[in-house]
Structures are given as C-alpha cells and as structure tokens.
Structure 1
Amino acid sequence: MPVISTSTNVFASGIIYRKAYPRQILKIHCVFYNIDIPLFYSYSFQKRDIVFQMIDKRKLKTTHFPWPIDLSWFLLQRKILGRELPLLASFKVTYHCNLTCRACPFHLRSDDENAQMSWNTAIGALESLYRFGARMVVFEGGEPLLWHDGSYRLHDLVLYARKNFLRVAVTTNGTLPLDVPCHTLWVSLDGLKETQDSLRSNSFDLICSNIKKTRHPRVFIHCTLNRHNWRDVESLAKWVQKMPTLKGMTVQFFYPYNQGEDDLSLLPEERRAAIEKLLELKKSGLPILNSAGRLKAMVENRWSCHDDILINVDPDGTITKGCYVKSRGEINCDDCGFTPVAEASGALDLIPGSLYAGWQLFLKT
C-alpha cells in the first residue's frame, strides 16, 4: 500500500499500480492547491505501466497533476488571475529534412549555421518553457525524427519532456519508423499517392508502410490543404477511416511564409468550397477532428486569436512568444490557415467544439 505523507514539504510518496489496486482511490491533501485530490491515475504505453508519483514539492517541476486539475489550474490563472501563460509550444528541433516538400520553407534553412540544436540547448529550452507555464509541447522540424546529438535521439527528448509537460506530441513526415514515445503523433499527409508524391517528394508508399506497421496508440493524419490538393480531401478522409492504426485526421490551410516555398495559396472561393466540403464530410461521419465551428470561422478568418497562448522554439534556441509565424516568415492574419491556433483560442474561450477537439487530440485515452 502506498504511504501518503501530508507534511508541508512532501505532497505524497509511493506508487500506485493499476494491476495491484484496480479500484483503489486515495485522497491526499495538496498543499500547492490547498484541496483534497482523489488519486487514481496511470498511463499504459507499449505494455508498460507508467505510474503517477507525486514527489517533494521542491522538485515539483519534474511532475504534473492529472489533466482535469492541471488544466483547471491553467484556466484559473489565465481567466481569474490574469496571467498570460502559454498553453502550447511549437518546438522545432531541426531544419534538416529528408524531403523537399513544396509547401514548406523550413527545409530550405537546413544549411543555416544553427539548423539543428544541441541536447543542452534543447533541455534548456524545455526548462524555459516550463518556467513560462507551457503545458503542452509539439516537436517539429524539418523532420524531428532525424534529430540527434551524439547518442541522444528525439525519443530521449520526448521522454524528458513527458516529465514536465502535461502532453507531448510530435509532427513527422512519416518516412521514419513511428515509434517515438509521445502522447500524440501526427503524420503529415497531403493526399493519396499521386497528390502526396507530387507535393511531398514521392513519399506516399513509405509513409503508408510505416503507418501500417506502427504500434503507437494515437496516430493522426495532418493535412495541409492548398490549391493542388483541396479537391482530394474526401478520398483522403475515406482512406484514413479505413486505416486501423489511425485515430482520425486534422486539416489546416496553406500559409504563404514567403520564404522560398511554392505559392500554393487557396483562392477565397476555393477556401470556402474546401471548408464546405470538410463540414459535409465531418457531418457524414468521416474522422475529421477539427471542430465545425472553427472551420466555419476560418472561411473569412474572423475569429478571436489569442496568440499569447503560443510559444515557439527554433533550432538556434530562440524562444518567441505569440504567433507561430513570428521569426519564421511574414505575418498576415488575413491569410492565416493555422486551425490549431483557432482551436486553441476557441478552447481558451470555452467554446464547446474546440474543447471537444482538444480532448480528442490530446487528452482522450
């Protein structure tokens, strides 16, 4: 039986094992929140029980609370205490990539002096994000699974981040094995074979093979719609629905960084038609996980953007608060296609559809 301490310096000690105590609920007094917490919490990943263990208050940065408590505290600080805490961190570990996708400006920076960060820089950035109050981290690139520093790989960074952050995700091009131990794994796929191969360096067959072989429990497709592929979204959604290893798909719209990538911007009438098609497909039951309300709001981009919930890390270690495009391109809000920002802003405004989308993508087990 776990030993529960109620001293002022120690929240709790001991470990709860799901198999040993399947129905056991323990209550502890949490000094930090000054509330009683029912403690019944565990993870299961790759047949290992990962336990929740509360430790010395002076080392609180090495753990987190169950998500209902964690996010409630986050909202309390934002809404009541007026603290401008970031929720979501975009963490680019490298600009190096094994593809040359037409819509992406970042692989064009692979020859930059600081195109890939060191382990120490990455750990320092994660510690800074924690101090700023970020709750979720998404590792990106370039291709993040190419990142390494000596014997360290992205897998090590993910495991380190899981100690401090409520959720850790990775966005990959899918050409490498999908075995990274993150909570959520997005694979960028912009269509079926002909379309994907045209836009993303003849990569469809390899990606499809890796998707079929993965044992990761939460893999999603992320599709960037542009003038060449928006008419193919129905066929892609039906393919996703039939793939047993996939949990669904999200979409965003091409954004012109004007940093050397191809100009693939949708015309206003194409954007409207694409969104109408997405809403139709979502209503029919296809696994499009963007909320209907935020998709509608993206037609003319007349939605409340809380860009202060974002914080961005670039491979040189630079940390920028605010819009995803800051330090990465030219900002033009009228051209925004970043549906994740729209959903996160909607969740902060307690819009039910955005809250549900966030739960499906990050919190559902």
Structure 2
Amino acid sequence: MKACGIITEYNPLHNGHIHHIKEARRISGCDVLIAVMSGNFVQRGEPAICDKWTRAKEAIAQGCDLIIELPLPYAIQSAQQFAYGAVETLKLAQVEDLVFGSETNDLGVLQKIAALDSDGFRDLMKEGLSPVKAYEMIFGRFYANDILGIHYLKALQGSTITPHTIKRIGNYHDNTLTAAQKQIVSATALRTALANKEDISAFSPMQITPHPSLEAYYPLIRYLLLSMPASSLNTYALMDEGIEAWLCKQAKEHAKWDTFLSACICKRYTASRIKRTLLHLLLQMQRGSYPIDHLRVLAFNAKGKAWLKQLKGKTAIAVKFAQLPVAYRRLYEKSAYLYAYPEVVANDSVKKEWQSAQFLTNE
C-alpha cells in the first residue's frame, strides 16, 4: 500500500478542499489518503468553526481515509512551526507523497526559496517586520499557501517524502459570497456567510452552526491580561519581545474586542500573531518543547484502519484518549474546556474530547 499526505484545517471543509482531495489521489496514485488536521483551534488564532470530530467525519465522507490531529502546540503557531509539526506528523505516518495547494503552482521556485539561508528573514523580523512583510522584502509578494508551502519544503528537507503542488482555485481574500462566483470560494467567505446565517450549500457540504469567535473570550482575556503580573505572563509561549506589555496596555484602554484588536495590530504584530498569543495565554501553555512522538487518530475508514495496522509496532498510535502521552492529555483537557467556554456549546465538546477515534465509511 502507498500513502499520500495532505495538511488541512477544514475550517470549514468546502469544494476547494474536495478538489484538493481528488487531485492528491490522482497525482500520487495512493491507496490511502492521510490528512493531518488542526483540532479545535486553528492557525489563524481562532476557535475552529466547528469541533474537530465533526470536521474529521466530513473529511472521511469526502474521500480521506485517515484523519490525524495536528498536535495543538503546532496548530496555533506561525507558518514555520505549523508546517514543521504537520510534516513531522506525516513522517510518523510514513507517507510517500505530500500534495499541497499553491497560488503560483511552481514547485521549482518554491524549492529554490526553501533552500535559501533564512538569516536575512530572521534579521528583518528582529527589525520589527511581520513574517509576511519579511517575505515580501526578500522574495517578493507571496500568498498564504505559497508561504506555507515553502515551510513544508523546508521541513521535508532530508526526508524521503515527495512534494507536489496543485493550483489553488479561487480568491483567498474573498470575504463574501456573490452570485458571480464559482462554486469554489475561500473559507473566510464561508465563515462570514455562516455568521450571517446564509446558505452555503452550493459551496460546502457542511451545514453547521458556527462556534463563537475569539471575541466571545475577550472578557476572560482582558481579565487575565490586567490581573496577572508580567513575570507570569511572559512564561507563556509567544509572550516575548515585549508583546505582553503591549497587550496589557491595549487591554487597559479598550473594553471591546474590536477596538482592542485594532489597537494591537502594528508593523510587528499581525492580527493572527496577536490571536495566537492570546490562545496560548488562555490555554496557559508554557514555553517548552512538545515532542511529536505519536499519532492521535480522529477518524478512519477501512483503508485507514489497514494502514494503522501496518504502522502498529513502528509508531505510537493513540486511538483512545488514554493512549495519549500525559503532557498531551493535560493540554487537550484544557483545550476542551476552553473550546466549551462560550455557553452556546456547553459541555458537548468536553464530552467529545474523551471519545475514541471514529470508524466510518465513505458511503
């Protein structure tokens, strides 16, 4: 059997993702398609539009065979760390190919950039530029999928996994649905439509009530920022280079989320960087390393089950919550309670966290 990997969030899963699934199968000729997927919190620094179990179930229905959770410490990190965590997870899953979306769809160019020394990139960030601006200064304008792709290729260096790109379809910056658009639109547009209670059935198979955004957590965020000493705040991951003082200053001046976030955004800190930092605060995630030494399975079908059986004895596999390493169990317990914080979801997501992986069919 041959396995191909894809890296996903499905926030929510839409027609563009279904195209990606089909193309990954076609390009790789795989027997098993394995998706590494973010859990209840995603890379843009927000709670996922719906819980990871629901999204994993839909992914199996749309053609994936095995859904593995991207470890939370890497899911809510910068593109570099997100890519590293995802690729390391796919290495553990022993895939032979990785297929990812790209705006340029020029693998050769992306590989050349990935091979370049990154000292200049780090120096620009030290001067206060955001990662996206630093990339523009060095390499010219690149969009989100290409930047992620460059980091995937960096993480793949020295591995036997073969990368492939597919052309990303649709406009990444669309934030509304219009009649003139085709059936592939951005996840941003779908999240906006769901928040406005619009019908998204032409664009996505998922019909869901969206989880509240990070705005719902602002009273708690503000309390923590204004009540905790700086010596405690700066022990958390991403609380560095003085961002804790900056966040506290803005929290003191702004009682509403929108004005707080707008005030926090600057040349050094993007909205996503700020929100990821706040998630680390809410999760009380200390600095330190989280080894990628296991696969947490969220859902699988018969082909996925056969692949897991093939991996048994070679890779630590957690199909049940109790099989997770202790440090990860503690972290996922906290994340489950945090995801359930808004009253609208009550304790449902907490109960789900302790369930075993879902065995599903594609029918």
Structure-1-length-normalised TM-score: 0.27
Rg comparison, structure with higher value: 1
Structure-2-length-normalised TM-score: 0.27
Which of the pair is proportionally richer in strand? 1
Bigger relative CO (Cα 8 Å, ≥ 6 apart):
2
Which of the pair is proportionally richer in helix? 2
